[in-house]
Amino acid sequence: MRPHRLVPESLALLSEGYAWLPDLLRARGETTVGFRLLGHPALILRGPEAVRFFYDEAHVRRHGALPAPVLSTLFGHGAVHTLDGDAHRARKSLFLPLLETDAVAGSAEHIATAWDEAVPRWRERPDVVLFDAVGRVITRGVRRWAGVPLAEHEEGPLARDLSAMVGGFATAGPRHWRARRARSRQEQRFADLVTEVRSGRAETPAGSVLDRVCRHRDADGAELTPRVAAVELLNVIRPTVALSRFVAFAAHALHRWPGNTDRLASGDPEFATAFAHEVRRFYPFAPFLGGRAVTDLTWQGRHVPAGGLILLDVYGQNHDERLWKDPYAFRPERFLGHPPCRDELIPQGGADPRTGHRCPGEAITVGILEMLSQRLAALPYEVPPQDLTIALHRVPTRPRSGMIIRLTADRPPRMPRDEETDTDRRAVRP
């Protein structure tokens, strides 16, 4: 294989963001490309078959694949994302209850209550930055659901730290260092909480997420250290709060395509699910996923040696015209009567979440997004002039303004928007 060489690769990633891998594949007209990344041989994959190849532990491992800056901000050192084999399966068992219907319903109920508590306070403000406000709502709801004791005045700082961890993992400079400080601060706080629960100085409901984390034992029979327990507790709470991005995107979609509003507000559960899936497909979240080759591998005639990098093009696959008709059109109806195939729609990874590395909280993500999107659609508000650009070079991205809304007494008519006037073209099609 003659690798396609990026010089310098890291600068291309920082400058192009979500468009980086799709541009490479488009330039070659293929679904897989070999090149070198940071001096290492690497292979880009896309497509359902590639997803199954990528999640086969005989092919790809996670240990050593995640860069230290990502662990120090987003996932935490020692997290389940860094494990393979029996160690991964044992740790993953801690998260499997998140797949159950009761967990989805329970988390959504707590967050719905927090939303209903927040709306009267929003009415007292001239404008509400939805991204920030929903982050606080979800933090309040999920910490109650997870059994984390926290005073009300501590919820705002926690919400800001959780948002910082997500917002700074894929960047350099001040945002990255804010993310590191936020993770260090909350890991220490949660490690102290784990110690207090284990010693009986603090209480949490039996069967809560915090209770399970405190009692969990790994494959070797040892309980998690307080620091690793804190990491995994954050890995339940942080991704849930990251939903504030999807809610901001949902508001963006309702503003640009207001024809979806009435049906969503009506409480139609099938349409709410379809709308949630289309938000997750259409809008940028994870650009790609990475691992390392377990052994010398060949995929579609491309070779990568043992230890080489393998990248799954998540954003590109979610906009692949071979999988999605009119992929750059926002159409919730594409999922009506047609639930997404497991390895086609992969905003939170692919394969089986019970056994593989796919996010076990995906069902909770969909359930909460359904519920909050319906509440948002029923909420009377208007969208004042603002910068609604969604820039693809920023990872993770969001509407630049944070999606500002202004609550009104009645729901005003919402007219279709010209997408070129309020959205960066590259946020629609890289």
Q: Where are the domains of the chain?
A: 4-428
CB distance 293 to 304 below 8 Å: yes
pLDDT-derived band at 356, boundaries 50, 70, 90: confident
Q: Which runs of consecutive H residues, i.e. helices, occur in 123-173?
A: 130-146, 152-167
b/e string for 202-227 if b means 16 or more Cβ within 10 A? bebeeebbbbbbbebebeeeeebebe
- Determine the pLDDT at residue 5: 43
Q: Which CATH number fits domain 4-428: 3.40.50.300, 1.10.630.10, 3.30.420.40, 1.20.120.450?
A: 1.10.630.10
Query: Number of helices and strands (H, E) in the chain?
Result: 18, 11
Model confidence pLDDT, tens digit, residues 85-112: 999 999 999 998 887 888 889 999 999 9
The residues pairing with 37 across neighbouring beta strands, listed in sequence order, are: 40
CB distance 289 to 312 below 8 Å: yes
Paired tokens of 300 = 């579609």
> Residues 195-209: what's their mean pLDDT?
96
pLDDT-derived band at 49, boundaries 50, 70, 90: very high
DSSP code per residue over 279-325: HHHHS-----EEEEESS-EEETTEEE-TT-EEEE-HHHHTT-TTTSS
Q: Is the pTM of this model over 0.95?
A: no
CB distance 307 to 10 below 8 Å: no
CB distance 191 to 230 below 8 Å: yes
45 DSSP 8-state letter: E
- CA pair distance 281, 347, nearest whole angstrom: 7
> Residues 187-198: what's their mean pLDDT?
98
Give me the sign of the Cα torsion angle 184, 186, 191, 196: positive
φ, ψ at 191 (rounded to 5°): -65, -40
The residues pairing with 284 across neighbouring beta strands, listed in sequence order, are: none
- CA pair distance 392, 426, nearest whole angstrom: 6
Q: Which runs of consecutive H residues, i.e. helices, occur in 168-313?
A: 174-199, 209-215, 226-241, 243-256, 261-265, 269-282
Paired tokens of 376 = 């948002």
Model confidence pLDDT, tens digit, residues 307-320: 999 999 999 999 99
- CA pair distance 305, 295, nearest whole angstrom: 6
Burial class (CB in 10 A: 0-12, 13-18, 19+), 303: middle
Looking at the chain, the whole-number percentage of residues with pLDDT higher than 90 is 73
pLDDT-derived band at 412, boundaries 50, 70, 90: low
φ, ψ at 19 (rounded to 5°): -80, -10
What H or E segment, with its residue span, contains residue 380?
none
φ, ψ at 349 (rounded to 5°): 95, 175
For the chain, give the mean pLDDT. 90
Positions of E strands within 88-221: 128-129
Among candidates 228, 227, 319, 340, which has minimal Cα distance to 275?
Answer: 340
Determine which of 216-230, 269-283, 403-417 has the lowest per-residue pLDDT on average.
Answer: 403-417
CB distance 290 to 309 below 8 Å: yes
The contacts of residue 20 (CB under 8 Å, 6+ apart) are: 12, 13, 287
- CA pair distance 99, 76, nearest whole angstrom: 22
CB distance 15 to 8 below 8 Å: no
φ, ψ at 33 (rounded to 5°): -140, 135
394 DSSP 8-state letter: S
CB distance 291 to 65 below 8 Å: yes
CA 214 to chain centre: 25
